[in-house]
Amino acid sequence: MDHDIEVRSYSPAKSLGYARRRAAMMLIVATSIAALIGAVIFVAVLESEWMTGGFSKIADFMFGKPVWAIVAATSPLAAALLVGYGYMQRAIRGRASRRSETRF
C-alpha cells in the first residue's frame, strides 16, 4: 500500500519574455490565417460571375414583393432595438435590487 507519490507542477511559461514571444507568435499565426481567409473570400466575390444569377434571382424576389425588401431592410434595426430592450430591462432590475439593498 505504500507507494511513492509523484507530484508534478505545471509551469506554462519559462519567463515573462518567453510568454510574450509565444503570445506574439500565436497572434501573428492567427492574423495570417484570418488574412488569408479574408483574401480568398475577397477574390472569390470579386472574380465570381457565378453568383450573379443567384443574386439576380434574390433581388427579383425581394423587389417583386416589396414587403420582403422592407422586412430585410428593417431587421437589423429590429434586432438592435431588441438587444437594447434587453439591456434596459437588466438595468432596471439591477437598479431596483440596489435600491432594495440600501433600504434595509
pLDDT tens digits, one per residue of 10-39? 666 566 778 888 899 999 999 999 999 999
Place of cell 509551469: 11
What gap in Å lies between CA 98 and CA 68, rounded to an integer?
44
Alpha carbon of residue 37 to chain centroid:
16
Predicted pLDDT of residue 71: 86
Predicted pLDDT of residue 50: 81
Q: Are 68 and 61 in contact (CB under 8 A)?
A: yes
pLDDT band at 59 (very low <50, low <70, confident <90, very high): confident
- Mean pLDDT, the chain, whole residue set: 86
Phi, psi at residue 18, to the nearest 5°? -65, -40
Helix (H) or strand (E) holding 7: none
The C-alpha angle with vertex 32 and arms to 29 and 38, in degrees rounded to 5, equals 145
